[in-house]
Structure 1
Amino acid sequence: MAKIEIFDPALCCPTGVCGPHVDPELTRIANAVFLLEKKGVDIKRYNLGNEPQFFVDEKEVQKLLEEQGIDALPVVLVDKQVQKIGGYPSNQELATWTGIQKTEIVKKETKTKDLPLL
């Protein structure tokens, strides 16, 4: 199975899902990473604000930052190969790279009508 590494721009917390105005894309990718980790996928996210050494150590990411600046982030590596620059992977891309069905990467919403009445 592929090893996926996501190099995030500086975020306020490890997932970026905090504060009063949460970016839905950050929510989606945080959820996808969580579900993939539960399925045993080797997937990691690195936050430039908290983990800058990973950005220095990964030569391809360092090169992209030197050439394009922070606009290159997020950068996605799959088995140490750059697969995406300047955006998070779609659920379809994650499914393709991991062999896991796209439907298994999306959190199931609980419908209000499915909740028991109190």
Structure 2
Amino acid sequence: MAEINIYETTLNHNGEQGIIDFDVLLKAFQNAGITINVFNIWDNPSLMTEVRPVEQVLLQEGVEAMPITVVGGEIWKKGAYPDYNELMKWSAKTE
């Protein structure tokens, strides 16, 4: 199973329905035993520079490109949270 990491900023958490939906979806996947890691830029800013693809997007596009989804070390989505179908497909991907 490929590692799924989502890099976000708290600026995205303003009660929008899409964010609430993603939080519910995330909990459902975690309850099913699928690991999806979520990292917040403000909680650990140095982590964003340790992950080269994320660092490059942030340098070129800024935090407006967040959230950034990385699957198996590669960026698979940016600017929006993944949906159910994407997470199902990506969680089945083998490295």
Question: Given the two structures, how large is their TM-score scaled by the length of structure 2?
Answer: 0.86
Say yes or no: does 1:87 pair with 2:80: yes
Aligned length: 92
SS of residue in 2 equivalent to 1:37? helix
Paired amino acid for 1:5: N
Q: Pick the aligned partner of 1:46 from 39, 45, 57.
A: 39
Q: Which has the higher helix share?
A: 2
1:28 deviates by 1.1
CA distance in 1, matches of 2:68, 2:36: 13
Which aligned runs of 4 or more in structure 1 are off by greater than 6 angstroms? Answer: none
CA distance in 2, matches of 1:79, 1:69: 22
Q: Pick the aligned partner of 1:56 from 49, 61, 79.
A: 49
Structure 2 unaligned residues grouped into runs of 5+: none
Q: What is the root-mean-square deviation in Å for CA atoms of aligned residues?
A: 1.7
Residue 110 of structure 1 is matched in structure 2 by none
Residue 58 of structure 2 is matched in structure 1 by 65
1:64 deviates by 0.5
Say which one has the larger Rg: 1
Residue 4 of structure 2 is matched in structure 1 by 4
CA distance in 2, matches of 1:71, 1:36: 26
SS of residue in 2 equivalent to 1:96? helix
Question: Given the two structures, how large is their TM-score scaled by the length of structure 1?
Answer: 0.71
1:2 deviates by 2.0
1:28-81 per-residue CA deviation (whole Å, 9 max, x = no partner) reads 111111111111112111111212122111111001100111111111001111
C-alpha contact 1:2 1:42 (8 A) present in aligned 2: no
Structure 1 unaligned residues grouped into runs of 5+: 100-118
> RCO greater where, 1 or 2, for CA within 8 Å and sep 6 or more?
2
Sequence identity percentage: 23
